[in-house]
Structure 1
Amino acid sequence: MNNIKTISIDELDANQYLLFDVRSPKEFEEYHIPGSYNLSIFSNEERAVIGTLYKQESKEAAMERGLQVVAPKLPSLYKKIHTQSNENPEKQVVIYCARGGFRSKSIVQTMNMMGMKTLQLDGGIRSYRKKIESTFRKMADEPRNIIVLEGHTGTMKTKLLKQLQEEGYPVLNLEEMAGHKGSIFGKIGEHPSSQKKFESRLYERLKKLQKSSSFIIESESKRIGRVVVPDFLLEGKYSGVRIHVELPFHLRVQYICNVYEPLLHKDEIVEAVNKLSKRIPSSIMIDIQQNLNTLNYEKVVALLLENYYDPKYDYAQQQYDSECIRLYSDSYQDIYSEVKNQLDQLLS
């Protein structure tokens, strides 16, 4: 029974194996190995109770309670794994938990008893975290060329990066990975990532770009929402070539309104504006509040850009002394073409 077969994280490929994460829904939501299915054997509440038993009473008491909770669920768990396995007959099932311990081991043993050849991920998802951490250390030791796309708020940098990535350029879209647009309004309409989920998304993207000698990123601060950007990217940001894009003010205002859809997020917009009240002159804040009340969001955005975001950006730009290529156009398509031309020269 204890001679179950394991697989290491280095051998694991989600395209070749069927992955099941038996941790709780909360653990799975925080981060998981991409492509895996959540097959929680404990609910969030059950895991908390068993964890308390482990700490306050004993390992044996926790295991006994765990068996009581899991036993009635085994037929359902088997059915879920069996169904997915039938739909993917070419893939062998791999089960993982936090550290390759009791949870995954018990399910692997049960599935094997039922005639389903199942593997346990050695070290659990912790081995995946160690893989991510070692990759980041390697990136720090072997830095790539960083090309930084910069510009005032609303110059469609995220849209540019997304289109560039779709066309095969080595883009690291950090805001997308963070689930945050990077400003005090950044979480509106988004699902912010945990630090571990952000790093997982970055790691998976870096794997796809491992043969690239350069990365393209947006000019970001150390923190995007609640996640922290690795130093190896920040250091590259200050030394890399910068492409500064500029668009007409009215296009920036329209773009921001389209992205944030303020009519769908009225309360969140008001809450974010209020957080800026101490950083903007009171006379300007009165004007902003009046336009918020009349739902004149274009005027609100224009006032915020003129009195907060643009001055803040201009001040931050003074810390750079790296090469900067400045591009200006009066349309998105033209600025995209100009950016592509510059990238093609830099990447060649």
Structure 2
Amino acid sequence: MPRETAPLVSVAEIDAFDTVIDARSPAEYAEDHIPGAISCPVLDDRERAIVGTIYKQQSPFEARRIGGAWVAKNIAHHIENQFQDKPRSWRPLVYCWRGGQRSGAFVTWLRLIGWDAAQLEGGYKAFRRHVLAQLDTLPTRLRLFVLAGPTGCGKTKLLHTLAQLGAQVLDLEALARHRGSLLGRAPDGAPQPTQKAFETALWSALRRFDPTQPVFVEAENRRIGTCHLPETLWQQMRAAPRVTLEAPLDARLSLVLAEYGFWRHDRETLKAQLLRLKGVVPNAVLAHWQQWIDRGDFAALYRDLMVRHYDPRYRKGLATWSGPIVAHFSFSTLSEATFADLAAQLIAIAASFRPVATVTRETSRA
């Protein structure tokens, strides 16, 4: 006999379950999914397309007749290959696009076996609405501190050092899988997440922060590669207290050469990327950059890019930010000791910060 109707749960209850199962197609899962969810499609991409076509062109009954056999086969496959070791006490949560037939069928079979399975009410669409609503409110509750400084001054390294010391860090470039500049793709060439997946990852990070403690974040453009920051977070960052960093050009160049060294192995793509600046910089400059790439003179290339393009663009963008500058750090080296010293000072400054006075600090520790 069938068990009682599967319970419907809200997005707020997701964390109470042992496993979250995404019953949508692989393509839907790849675009975005609930963090930590495993992909167990009841219809693959091809099957879903066929069933949808039959539904529209023939009849809903015919679509269910054909699709039902595929759904049963796929659910059986997942149960046999992924869930045979689950104990009687296992509590899975299943969702599909709208919380309809795909997740409902999966939950029915899991409950018939004896597991306390539940269905996400409203499915992924409900989750997506929740994420967007939270991205409108969560940033306003945080004590953001923005790290600002020109390319190569070690903002990302400083963020990582702060995290190692236990500080709360929002690493937007890691979430976007991009350094935020024209040449800022991932070294391994991995694609960026979709906008939906980026926003989900951002929501997942923001909701775990303690609002009573500082959150350090790097000053970024509104767009990080192909990903865009939500409006509320972007405005909160622009108005947040800022810490400015400054280092000599040669030290910055050394860091850039190390962090962007992967372009040596993909010179044609690098040349194509720089051609996107046609009309922004003179053609003669573009020609010089192309020649330097051909010769392998990346020091000359990056130095000119920083002086001619990155630094002026960064200063112009940051001039529109309204947050107070609460500390300025000028340092001569970009060593591990320098970043450890800076991180410790930043944690102390943020802990005692009150929006009244501006503090200027200088450090040259090696």
Please confirm whether the aligned pair reaches a TM-score higher than 0.5, indicating the same fold. Answer: yes
1:185-243 CA-to-partner distances (Å, cap 9, x unmatched) read 22343431112211111111122114335432211122222222122222222222111
| Equivalent residues of 2:177, 2:186 under 8 A apart | no
Q: Structure 1: how far apart are the matches of 2:258 and 2:46?
A: 40
| Equivalent residues of 1:99, 1:127 under 8 A apart | yes
Q: Deviation of residue 339 (structure 1)?
A: 4.3
Per the alignment, do residues 327 and 90 of structure 1 end up closer, same or farther by CA in structure 2, a change over 3 Å counting? farther
Q: What is aligned with 1:174?
A: 172
Q: Is 2:145 the counterpart of 1:147? A: yes
Secondary structure (helix, strand or coil) at the match of 2:146 reads: strand
1:291-329 CA-to-partner distances (Å, cap 9, x unmatched) read 111222222211211211112122223324542222111
Q: Is 2:200 the counterpart of 1:196? A: no
Q: Structure 2: how far apart are the matches of 1:85 and 1:264?
A: 46
Find runs of 4+ consecutive structure 1 residues off by over 6 angstroms: none
Q: What is aligned with 2:341?
A: 337
1:269-299 CA-to-partner distances (Å, cap 9, x unmatched) read 2221121233222222222111111222222
Q: What is aligned with 1:7?
A: 9
Q: What is aligned with 2:357?
A: none
- Where in structure 2 are the equivalents of 1:251-266 lying within 5 Å? 251-260=251-260, 261-266=262-267
1:44-100 CA-to-partner distances (Å, cap 9, x unmatched) read 2222232333344443333233213333334312113423525xx753122211121
TM-score (norm 1): 0.89
Secondary structure (helix, strand or coil) at the match of 1:217 reads: strand
Q: Structure 1: how far apart are the matches of 2:95 and 2:163?
A: 32
Q: Note the residue ranges of structure 2 that are not aligned, 5 or more in a row.
A: 353-366
Q: Structure 2: how far apart are the matches of 1:143 and 1:18?
A: 29
RMSD over aligned Cα atoms = 2.4
Per the alignment, do residues 139 and 208 of structure 1 end up closer, same or farther by CA in structure 2, a change over 3 Å counting? closer
Per the alignment, do residues 274 and 123 of structure 1 end up closer, same or farther by CA in structure 2, a change over 3 Å counting? same
| Equivalent residues of 1:108, 1:120 under 8 A apart | yes
Q: Structure 2: how far apart are the matches of 1:41 and 1:158?
A: 41
Q: What is aligned with 2:356?
A: none
Determine what percentage of the aligned residue pairs are the same residue: 26
Question: 62-71 or 38-47: which moved more?
Answer: 62-71
| Equivalent residues of 2:90, 2:116 under 8 A apart | no
| Equivalent residues of 1:329, 1:335 under 8 A apart | no
- Where in structure 2 are the equivalents of 1:266-305 lying within 5 Å? 266-305=267-306
- Where in structure 2 are the equivalents of 1:1-348 lying within 5 Å? 1=2, 3-13=5-15, 16-83=17-84, 85=86, 91-139=90-138, 142-189=140-187, 190-260=190-260, 261-324=262-325, 325-332=327-334, 333=336, 334-348=338-352
Q: Deviation of residue 103 (structure 1)?
A: 0.7
| Equivalent residues of 2:20, 2:93 under 8 A apart | yes
Per the alignment, do residues 249 and 55 of structure 1 end up closer, same or farther by CA in structure 2, a change over 3 Å counting? farther
Q: Note the residue ranges of structure 1 that are not aligned, 5 or more in a row.
A: none
Secondary structure (helix, strand or coil) at the match of 1:245 reads: strand
Q: Structure 1: how far apart are the matches of 2:234 and 2:259?
A: 26
Per the alignment, do residues 62 and 331 of structure 1 end up closer, same or farther by CA in structure 2, a change over 3 Å counting? farther
Per the alignment, do residues 336 and 245 of structure 1 end up closer, same or farther by CA in structure 2, a change over 3 Å counting? farther
Aligned length: 344
Per the alignment, do residues 272 and 59 of structure 1 end up closer, same or farther by CA in structure 2, a change over 3 Å counting? same
Question: 253-262 or 145-154: which moved more?
Answer: 253-262
Per the alignment, do residues 81 and 149 of structure 1 end up closer, same or farther by CA in structure 2, a change over 3 Å counting? same
Q: Structure 2: how far apart are the matches of 1:245 and 1:109?
A: 57
Which letter maps to 1:52?
T
Q: Structure 2: how far apart are the matches of 1:74 and 1:230?
A: 37
| Equivalent residues of 1:18, 1:85 under 8 A apart | no
Q: Structure 1: how far apart are the matches of 2:339 and 2:268?
A: 34
Q: Deviation of residue 104 (structure 1)?
A: 0.8
Which letter maps to 2:32?
Y
1:85-128 CA-to-partner distances (Å, cap 9, x unmatched) read 25xx7531222111211111111112233344422222222232
| Equivalent residues of 2:96, 2:123 under 8 A apart | yes
